[in-house]
Amino acid sequence: MRQKLFDGKNYEKCCGHCLKGKLPADRSVVLCKKHGIVSLDDCCPSFEYDPLKRIPKRPRLKTDFSEDEFKL
């Protein structure tokens, strides 16, 4: 299930982005305050989005350069 952020972008409801969950160093599970150890993609009714836990996608770099772009 996706919800809209205040700036119009979508985010996915999952315990990996929840305010109540803590991510250990290996990032394989979530330590939830309410439900204990759960997987990253689980979700419960007490979900609260934390934007600081979201890892943004890497930007795509342009790879098709032409020779004219390097001339002075």
**Are the C-beta atoms of residues 44 and 15 closer than 8 Å to each other?**
yes
pLDDT in tens, the chain (72 residues): 556 555 556 777 888 888 998 888 888 899 999 889 998 888 888 888 888 888 788 888 888 888 888 888
**Pairwise CA distance, residues 19 & 33, whole Å:** 10
pTM above 0.75, yes or no: no
Torsion angles phi and psi, residue 51, rounded to 5: -65, -20
> Among candidates 17, 20, 1, 26, which has minimal Cα distance to 54?
17
pLDDT at 11: 76
Number of Cβ within 10 Å of residue 29's Cβ equals 18
